[in-house]
Amino acid sequence: MTHLDTLLSSNEDQTMKIASHFTQEYFQPGVPILLSGQLGAGKTYFTKGIAEALGISSREVISPSFALINEYHGPVCILNHMDFYRLENWQEVEQLGIEEYFTSNSFTVIEWGERFLAHFLPPYYVVKLTVTDEKNRLIEIFYQNYGQ
C-alpha cells in the first residue's frame, strides 16, 4: 500500500477541507474509499467534505449507521455513503450488492470499511483518521493498486 499524504485537522471544517482536497487530488470514481477511525474521529465529516467537492450540500450527508447506505446525487456524479459498523461478516457486505456501487459515475465512501479490508480487490483507498487529542486528528491517505 502506498502512502500518498498526511494532514492534520484541528476541527470539523478543516476535516471537510482536507477531504475536499483529497477528492480533487487523489480520489477517482469507481474506486472505493475505506475510512478507518474510532468513533468520533470524523469519518462522517470527512464524507461531508467529499460531498462538497462533488457539488453536493454537506447538510444532506448524515451517517448511514442504520440505513447502511445513503446515496446522494450531485450535478455530475453520485456519492454512495456506506457504514459497515454493524455488519458482522463479508457475506452481509455482499448481500448489499456492494460491487454495483463501484461505477465510473460514482464515488463510494465506506465508514468502517477497514474491518473487511482483506476482501476488497484493488484498487482502493484507505483513509485513516487518528485522534491525537481532544481536538486534533491526523488524516492519512493510502492507495492500494494492482500488484502492490
Check if the beta carbon of residue 83 is closer than 8 Å to that of residue 92: no
Give residue 40's region: left, alpha or beta (phi > 0; psi -120 to 50).
left
Q: Which domains does the chain have, with CATH numbers?
A: 12-130 (3.40.50.300)
User: What value does the mean pLDDT take over residues 2-21?
Assistant: 96
The pLDDT tens digits of the residues spanning 116-148 come to 999 999 999 999 999 998 889 999 999 999 876
Q: What are phi and psi of 114, to 5 degrees?
A: -65, -15
Cα 46 to Cα 68: distance, rounded to the nearest angstrom: 17
The pLDDT tens digits of the residues spanning 31-79 come to 999 999 998 899 999 999 999 999 999 999 988 777 789 999 999 999 9
Please tell me whether residue 29 adopts helix, strand or coil conformation.
Answer: coil
Check if the beta carbon of residue 75 is closer than 8 Å to that of residue 55: yes
pTM of the model: 0.93
Q: Which three cell numbers stand for residue 25?
A: 487530488
